[in-house]
Amino acid sequence: MRILIISYHYPPAKAIGGARVEGFARSLLDAGHDVRVVTAGPSEPSDERATAIPPEKVFRAAHLRRSSRAQTVADDPGGNPSKRTSSAPFRKALKRWLYRLYQRAIAVPDTAVDWALSARALGRNITRNWKPDIILVSGPPFSAIAAAVSLKRLTRAALVVDYRDPWTLGAYYPFGAVRRTFDRQIELFLGAHFDAITTVSSPIAELLHDLHGLRASVILNGYDEGADSFPRESEAQGPLSSARLNILYVGNALYAGRRDPSPLFLAARELQLSPDDVRIHFLGTDSDTVLRFPGARDIEDLLVFHPPVSHQDSLAFQRRADLLLLLLWNNPAERGVYSGKLFEYIGSGRPVLLIGYQRGVAAALVEQERFGFVTTDKDSVIRVLRRVLDGPQLHFPDSTNERRKKYSRDKQNKALIQLVTSLHSNRHAQ
């Protein structure tokens, strides 16, 4: 089959959503399909990692966000170089206001809409001489879906839509009720063209089924196996510090404080832990944001902030930690959220300390497979730290490699291969 994948996020960009899409592309290519990818241009932050698909089959559409008149005016509202220094606070405030206006009133359905227009044009050029049987689109950003629907109508290919997160049904939807209603109508209009839906968890699949009337297939994110993924133990550089316990958080997705590390900070403060006992490392996380959480300033000597690194280096960091910190919102709205980071943590072979909603799918996975600890507040974190630090050796749940291997990306993506094969066969049988 010829399969065209459309996704704003794709390696070597660092966004973890791109790892899922690259996994799709690699699994489909390994299954013998002819795969092409349309993604964003090199303006995204990226690392040196090679991608699974040959470069000549990855097409990058330009992102024109900074070419907007709003951005130009915000960068230099007076057009006078002599006033740039004195008016800097004003310019920054105006820039923020203009960008919020752009987000809320102009950028529909999201700020990648200009990229989606470029992606659609690029897709039209690709499909002139190469007609796809399947178009697979992954969002967010959800403007990618609009581009995919347009190309479906042009090529008559079957359309598979992968929701890495819900759109208008999501707890992290960024706008108010009026805009949500408007976007819901867009989502339903586009949904009339869907042939199949995939997503990352059963609770989200239920929401999408209720909205679109299509059964949504669950494909967990999984982690990447192989020598090019997690470095071997011998290649690691040793522990992150000389502390007995090194805890690591990777990333900067704290969602305006909804994902809250303060139970860990408050627990460390109450236990009066020293830098010899524990160090809490943040990789690529904004230190000012972290230090605003309750208890952070009281244990500042335990906190270590590392600058962002390549994806490959972040995997090495994980192997050098004793415990990997996963933060989720402690709210029922988080019930269907695993976080792609959880599967990366699983692949590292290190135990997980989850702080967040204890009745969600992520907590159930961590507990059932003995991948680590689930906590919700200061007291539960204190119990974990006491257990881990009790005695001369650190104490962790005893999971197995066989349990971990079930969650490799290749194993999870078998469901995708079955889905596209069945969809293609059914269309030809009609």
Taking only the tens place, the pLDDT of each residue in 136-187 is 999 999 999 999 999 999 999 999 999 999 999 998 998 899 999 999 999 9
pLDDT confidence bin for 91, thresholds 50/70/90? confident
For residue 252, what pLDDT is reported?
A: 87
Say whether both 18 and 144 belong to one domain.
yes
For 30-62, the DSSP string reads: HTT-EEEEEEE-TTS-B-SPPPSS-GGGEEEE-
CATH at residue 326:
3.40.50.2000
267, 252, 240, 239: which is closest to 355 by C-alpha? 267
Q: 3-class DSSP state for residue 117?
A: helix
With a cut of 50, say whether residue 227 has pLDDT above it. no
For residue 77, what pLDDT is reported?
A: 33
User: What CA–CA distance (Å, rounded) separates 106 from 108?
Assistant: 6
With a cut of 50, say whether residue 306 has pLDDT above it. yes
Say whether both 74 and 179 belong to one domain.
no
Over residues 321-337, the pLDDT tens digits come to 999 999 999 999 999 99
Higher pLDDT, 88 or 119: 119
pLDDT confidence bin for 17, thresholds 50/70/90? confident
For residue 234, what pLDDT is reported?
A: 39
Say whether both 71 and 56 belong to one domain.
no
Burial class (CB in 10 A: 0-12, 13-18, 19+), 303: buried
Say whether both 58 and 78 belong to one domain.
no
Say whether both 300 and 367 belong to one domain.
yes
For residue 15, what pLDDT is reported?
A: 79
> Is 224 a member of any domain?
no
Average pLDDT over residues 307-314: 88
Say whether both 150 and 37 belong to one domain.
yes
With a cut of 80, say whether residue 361 has pLDDT above it. yes
Token pair belonging to 4: 């065209």
Q: Of the given ranges (82-96, 140-154, 264-278, 393-407), which has the lowest mean pLDDT?
A: 82-96
Number of domains in the chain: 3
Average pLDDT, the chain: 88
Token pair belonging to 402: 């066989």
Average pLDDT over residues 302-314: 91
For residue 3, what pLDDT is reported?
A: 98
pLDDT confidence bin for 106, thresholds 50/70/90? confident
Average pLDDT over residues 268-281: 97
pLDDT confidence bin for 392, thresholds 50/70/90? confident
Say whether both 339 and 249 belong to one domain.
yes
Average pLDDT over residues 281-293: 96
Say whether both 167 and 98 belong to one domain.
no
pLDDT confidence bin for 356, thresholds 50/70/90? very high
Say whether both 210 and 263 belong to one domain.
no
Range of the domain at 375: 233-405
pTM across the whole model: 0.86
Token pair belonging to 174: 């960024």
318, 346, 354: which is closest to 239 by C-alpha? 318
> Is 386 a member of any domain?
yes
Token pair belonging to 273: 């832990």
Higher pLDDT, 230 or 98: 98
Say whether both 214 and 347 belong to one domain.
no
Alpha helices in 102-197 (DSSP H): 113-126, 143-155, 177-191
pLDDT confidence bin for 16, thresholds 50/70/90? confident
Q: Of the given ranges (56-65, 77-86, 386-395), which has the lowest mean pLDDT?
A: 77-86
281, 254, 222: which is closest to 415 by C-alpha? 222
With a cut of 50, say whether residue 68 has pLDDT above it. no
Say whether both 30 and 95 belong to one domain.
no
With a cut of 80, say whether residue 201 has pLDDT above it. yes
Quick one: what percent of the chain has pLDDT higher than 90? Answer: 69
Segment 378-384 long-range contacts (CB within 8 Å, at least 24 positions apart): 378/262, 378/263, 378/266, 378/267, 378/270, 379/267, 380/263, 381/263, 381/264, 381/266, 381/267, 381/353, 381/355, 382/267, 382/270, 382/271, 384/353
pLDDT confidence bin for 79, thresholds 50/70/90? very low
Average pLDDT over residues 58-75: 58
Q: What is the largest CA-CA distance in the chain?
A: 70
SS3 content of the chain, % helix, strand, coil (to 5): 45, 15, 40
For residue 70, what pLDDT is reported?
A: 38
For residue 232, what pLDDT is reported?
A: 56
For residue 307, what pLDDT is reported?
A: 95
Average pLDDT over residues 346-358: 95
Token pair belonging to 414: 């078998």
Say whether both 421 and 274 belong to one domain.
no
> Is 227 a member of any domain?
no
Q: How many CA atoms lie within 13 A of 25 on its CB side?
A: 27
